[in-house]
Amino acid sequence: MAGAVNEDGTPTAHPVVTVTGPRTLHETNEAPTLPEPGRAIVDITYTGVCGTDVHGYTDGHMLPPAVFGHEWTGRVSAVGDGVSGLEVGQRVVGGVGPACGRCSQCVAGHARQCDTAFAEANGVDPDAPEHGAFAGQVHVSARRLIPVPDEVTDIEAALVEPATVTFHAVRRVAATPGAIVVIQGAGPIGLLTAQNARNAGAGHVIVSEPSSARRDMATDLGFTDVVNPSDLKARVEATTDGRGADVLYECTGVAALLQPSAELVRRGGTLALLGFPLDTSTVSYADWQVRELAVIGSLAYNHDDFVATIQLIAEKRIDVAPLHTGTVGLSELGDLLEELDSGRSSHTKVLVDPHA
């Protein structure tokens, strides 16, 4: 497979959508190119719309260009010189490469905090693509491409990236098997965190979510203790004999919830941060210190997190497909971002098909 072609056999230009200002999208057609050494061209199949994309759209300048449209899957259409392990036509997802072994973190023995992989995850590495994958194609470093096995569908592949974010977070917490866990927020990140926490041995999972539709989705995914936030404190107290949760995963990114979330955690327990607040958070330092809370931040992922997550999806131990609630074309992206920003959308995860 060599990508779309014109009648004379020459490659066609492909569409690209970028943010050029607050609530302003620019759609253009990009001329086809040949892959540079060490890089590959991927024809995009689907790109997931993330809360980060919504924030980047409304702000207009907060995201590096490569991050607007960072949840994607597609097929390799061309590979550059020096690339091994990838073939034209192969299905892949965009991830991060293995630890580089050369940066300061790697040399110091902290390979899981590799500076190179972290920069790739945040779209600020020297080899970052010029735009994200709200496009027909992306031209990326081949080290970032992770093969997709046949057991994983295209829809599932498009949800690998957010699933990997949550796998990374649960892995960092490393909770004791049998732990009582609270998931605050049942959006895509919360629902995926809940599944990964269950896989990691959580003994009891309480999911808190204001949306009835998302509470229903959590129930459909097999979680039996799903509550409205107004009932969360009482449920945690009843479940733990007043101690508090062993682990609380904060998945909403609402700054005002940080201290109330901490207060639901038992003395010596863990507050795990996945949601990314854009506002200043106020907390009680003394409260956290007196109760000896462990606070674990989590952002992005490592290469091996992607490999493990894909395997879990292939084995049906993480069910990502129910989170997919809609698909739109590139021309509908602006309207969708406005809908998601309104807070009134019924969607959980929407995918963009650039060829629709």
Give the type of residue at 167.
Answer: F
94 with 145: CB under 8 angstroms?
A: yes
User: In the numeric block, which tokens belong to residue 152?
Assistant: 């994983």
Q: Beta 324-328 vs 294-297: how paired, if at all? A: unpaired
How far is it, in rounded angstroms, from Cα 334 to Cα 188?
20
How far is it, in rounded angstroms, from Cα 289 to Cα 277?
22
- The terminus-to-terminus CA distance of the chain in angstroms comes to 19
Catalytic site residue 52? yes
264: Cβ contacts below 8 Å, ≥ 6 apart: 182, 232, 233, 236, 244, 245, 248
Burial grade of 63 (CB within 10 A; 0-12, 13-18, 19 or more): buried
SS3 64: coil
User: In the numeric block, which tokens belong to residue 260?
Assistant: 């109330």
Q: Specify the long-range contacts of residues 241-247, CB closer than 8 Å, at least 24 apart.
A: 243/267, 244/269, 245/180, 245/181, 245/182, 245/206, 245/269, 246/175, 246/176, 246/179, 246/180, 246/181, 246/270, 247/173, 247/175, 247/179, 247/180, 247/181, 247/182, 247/197, 247/202, 247/271, 247/272
How far is it, in rounded angstroms, from Cα 47 to Cα 273?
25
52, 58, 153, 239: the active-site residue: 52
20, 26, 45, 55: the active-site residue: 55
Give the type of residue at 52.
Answer: T
How far is it, in rounded angstroms, from Cα 193 to Cα 185?
10
SS3 92: strand
Any idea which residues carry the catalytic annotation? 52, 55
